[in-house]
Each structure stands twice: as C-alpha cells, then as structure tokens.
Amino acid sequence: MTPKRMMLAFMALGVLLPLAACGTAESTSSGFRKNYVVARSALEGGEYGQANRQYARLMSSAGPFLPRIQLEYAHSLLRAGNYAQAAQMAEAMSMASDGAASAAALAVAATARHELGLEALAEGKTQAGKMHLEHAQASMAQVLSTHPELDPLGSLAGRQASIAVRLKAL
C-alpha cells in the first residue's frame, strides 16, 4: 500500500467509524453516508472531477464531519491539479483548526504550494516559484516537527528534501 493510499485509508477510517455509529433509520444519515462513499471511492479511484463534485455537495450537509470533508475535498483538488484552490482551502482549514487536523491540512497546503512552485519555475517565473517553494518548505517543516506521525513512511520528508534542493539551486 502506497503512503498516499495509507493516509487516505486512515482518513476514511476516521470518518467512517463515526458515520457507522449513526442510526441507519435516518434517511439523511444514510444518504450522507452513501454520498460520502461515492466521493471517497472516486478520490481513491483517481476520478477527481467526480470526487470534487461529490465533496462540494457533501459540505452543506456534513455537520460535525465538515472539517474531514473539507480536508478530503482539498486533497481531491490537489490530486486533480487544482493547486491554487487546494492550497487556499487547506491553508484556511489549517488556521481554523488545531492539532493533527491543522497539521494534516497544512501538509495538503504545503504539497499544493510545492506543485505551484514547480509550475511557476517551469513557466520561467522564478520569483513566484521561489515564493511558493519557501512557503511549502516552512509549512512542511512545521508539520514534520509538530506531527511526525503524519509521515510514517517519509514521503513528506522526501518532499521537503526535494524542495530544499530546488531552493538551493535558485
């Protein structure tokens, strides 16, 4: 299982366990659960457009699950290549939450900023690229120092090292 899939599986478990405790007699709960499974399956299956649409619909009825749905939506935006939107959403989530939830959102934001930096550099926009990479590096450092358990296989640390190499070359 890849690090991305492992992180997704843990995130899904965090949502599905509380959802499983909801009474199945309530059609709202059942409908939410069904739509969540569709969104989650689309995300895991690489169908990011469908996942983005489903997560966007879920947010209005997510109730106490809203932070989790927003995080998965930001992750889906990231995987779809909507880096600016993913960074914006994840950074806002990081500031609005604390602890591991804030760090998880910050990791998504840092990854999106890294990708934005690489895009800017590829377009010859050195200053913009450097700015995004520095932002990504600082965010990734914060995640790794405060919540190293979010990087059990070292993929975040590997991304941080890649960012450092790129910045040194600028």
Do residues 18 and 53 make contact, with C-beta atoms less than 8 angstroms apart?
Answer: no
Do residues 87 and 120 make contact, with C-beta atoms less than 8 angstroms apart?
Answer: no
Token pair for 135: 């932002």
Q: What does each of the 170 residues of the chain score in pLDDT, given as a tens digit? A: 444 543 444 444 344 434 444 434 344 567 888 888 888 999 899 999 999 999 898 988 888 888 999 999 999 999 999 999 999 999 999 999 999 999 999 999 999 999 999 999 999 999 999 999 999 999 999 999 999 999 999 999 999 999 999 999 99
Rounded to whole angstroms, how far apart are CA atoms 147 and 124?
Answer: 34
Q: What is the pTM (predicted TM-score) of this model?
A: 0.79
**Which residue ranges make up each domain of the chain?**
1-80, 83-170
Token pair for 93: 């989530």
Number of other CB atoms surrounding residue 132 within 10 Å: 26
